[in-house]
Amino acid sequence: MSLIDKIHEAGVVGAGGAGFPTDKKLNCKVEYFIINGLECEPLLQSDKYIMRNKSDEIVKAAEEIGKLVEASNIVIGLKKEYEKEIEALKKSIDKLNSNITLYLSDVFYPAGDEQILVYEVTGRTIPPAGIPLNVGAVVSNVSTVFNIYEAMEDKPVMYKYVTVIGEVGTPSIIKVPIGTPVLECIESCGGAKLDDYAVIMGGPMMGKRVLKKDLESRFITKTDGAIIVLSSEHYLFNREKITIEHMKKQAKSACIQCHYCTDMCPRNLIGHPMHPHKIMRNVAFGVEDEEALKETLICCECGVCEMYACPMGLSPKRINVYFKNELRKKGIKWVNDKKRFEASLVRDYRKVPTKRLIRRLHLNDYIGQVLKEGEEIIPSKVEIPLKQNIGAPAEAVVSLGDKVFKGQKIGEIKEGNMGANIHASIDGVVSDIKDGRIVIKLMKPEVIV
């Protein structure tokens, strides 16, 4: 079986983002294959763990992927402060006689944004609304590359390494079968220290906010990498409570047109025509015409403008998101008016230092938390969504009452569709198939036979 077929069979999707099917992404020829180990969102540590502990696997898989896409440069991007990870990767590169190089980045946010990483490594700006392929590159996250290594060994995607941090008894990095209830992950890390808590799935800047009452129906997927437990009254949740109407009123009454949101915008700094202050001005004057608002379509929603830059505490990102969704509903797309985009000469001086960002996010208390490592969760049941990726959902290929083994295919993507196969992450019995999820109850393998 070819590497692409193995990746397809194993159901590998982008583990660090929206879950783009990896077999489709790597079906290309490029100059640069870049492995993203930046993990730039504050507090997250799962990718660091993988780079420290699975460096041989990452280097081996990266070599094979490099051959597949015929890349003349294979580069692993990580932060220059990651001393242990750099050492581990260097050792593996030497041991395996590999030509892979390391790109050691400054410690800033959002260094791990694909467009920013490609610019840092190649000096080329991906056009707005474009993809790395437009400038001869393809990027995969380190977790994805590790999953590709597993696929090379005929092991499908069955588990995730998840950082559980914040207001929990024992902050940890745990190995979790796909479909494990998020509440069980929190419990296995000593439980929440507060009664009234809420959770961010992912990083504090771009992760999904989930209230405690909604956690019952939340399960670990192939794209999850972190659970941040905080007080439900934490600054990050309170900011989310502001309505769009209130944000518009704030823009009218308080936007001083200082321009800082645009000056600090990482996409503007690599040369994209993204000017959040102009969007705010339009909103302030009630000029909500589509042409002026089209820029919102190229906002990556990194949040720098509102969580770091704006001195007035306004919400340009959320206003962008609102208008972006409105334009998308009307089928309006971004069209580039030129081919080349030049980065700002002052870009290097406007990188957002991660430590300062952490203070702005009121997350200081959690910087020094030492994470316990190595624990593997074995849940009593998993609920595995048939759609964990961009594209179509898989179709269940098991029925109620079927006995399944860890690694067995339980959902298949139809020929010709873009999507990913789904596999059992524990041994057990299919106890339900509902709401696009397959529920498996744990059972010992000897009982199943």
Type of residue found at 202: G
Distance CA 284, CA 212 (A): 35
Give the separation between CA 131 and CA 40, rounded to whole angstroms.
Answer: 19
State which residue, 342 or 446, has the beta carbon closest to ligand SF4: 342
Q: Is 211 helix (H, G, I), strand (E, B) or coil?
A: strand
Q: Binding marks (x or -) toward ligand SF4, 257..276, rule CB under 6 A? A: xxxxx---x-x------x-x
Residue 36 or 92 having the CB closest to ligand SF4: 36
Q: Which is nearer to ligand SF4, 219 or 323 (CB)?
A: 323
Q: How many residues comprise the chain?
A: 449
Rounded distance, CA 322 to CA 439, Å? 35
> Is residue 76 involved in binding ligand SF4 (CB under 6 A)?
no
CB 315 within 8 A of CB 303: no
Residue type, 313: G
Locate the DSSP E strands across 8-136.
32-36, 73-79, 101-105, 108-109
Task: State how far the Cα of 358 lies from the Cα of 298, in Å rounded to an integer.
Answer: 25
- Among the candidate windows 163-171, 180-188, 250-258, 353-361, which touches ligand SF4 by CB under 6 A? 250-258
Longest dimension (CA), the chain: 70
| Candidate list 162, 255, 422, 424; residue touching ligand SF4; CB under 6 A | 255
11 SS3 class: coil
Total residues binding ligand SF4 (CB under 6 A): 27
Smallest gap from Cβ 140 to ligand SF4, in A, equals 22
Name which position in 6, 60, 160, 277 contacts ligand SF4 (CB under 6 A).
277
Which lies closer to ligand SF4 via its Cβ, residue 173 or residue 314?
Answer: 314
Q: How far is the CB of 290 from ligand SF4 (least distance, A)?
A: 18
Give the nearer residue to ligand SF4 in terms of CB position, either 36 or 296.
296
Q: What are the Cα distances from residue 144, in Å, to 182, 383, 442? A: 21, 22, 26
Rounded to a whole number of angstroms, the minimum distance from the CB of residue 319 to ligand SF4 is 9
Q: Does 247 bind ligand SF4 (CB under 6 A)?
A: no
**Least distance in Å: CB of 128 to ligand SF4?**
10
Do residues 179 and 220 touch, judged by C-beta distance below 8 A? Answer: yes
Closest approach, Cβ 67 to ligand SF4, in A, equals 35
Q: How far is the CB of 359 from ligand SF4 (least distance, A)?
A: 18
φ/ψ of 281, rounded to 5, equals -65, -45
For ligand SF4, the binding residues in 306-325 under the rule CB under 6 A are 309-310, 312, 314, 316-317, 320
Q: How far is the CB of 315 from ligand SF4 (least distance, A)?
A: 8
Rounded (10°) angle between helices 244-254 and 276-284: 90
Closest distance to ligand SF4 from the beta carbon of 356 (Å): 15
**Start-end of H helices in 330-400:** 354-360
Residues 278-307 that bind ligand SF4 (CB under 6 A): 280, 299-305
Helix or strand or coil: residue 181? strand
The residues that touch ligand SF4, with contacts defined as CB under 6 A, are 255-261, 265, 267, 274, 276-277, 280, 299-305, 309-310, 312, 314, 316-317, 320
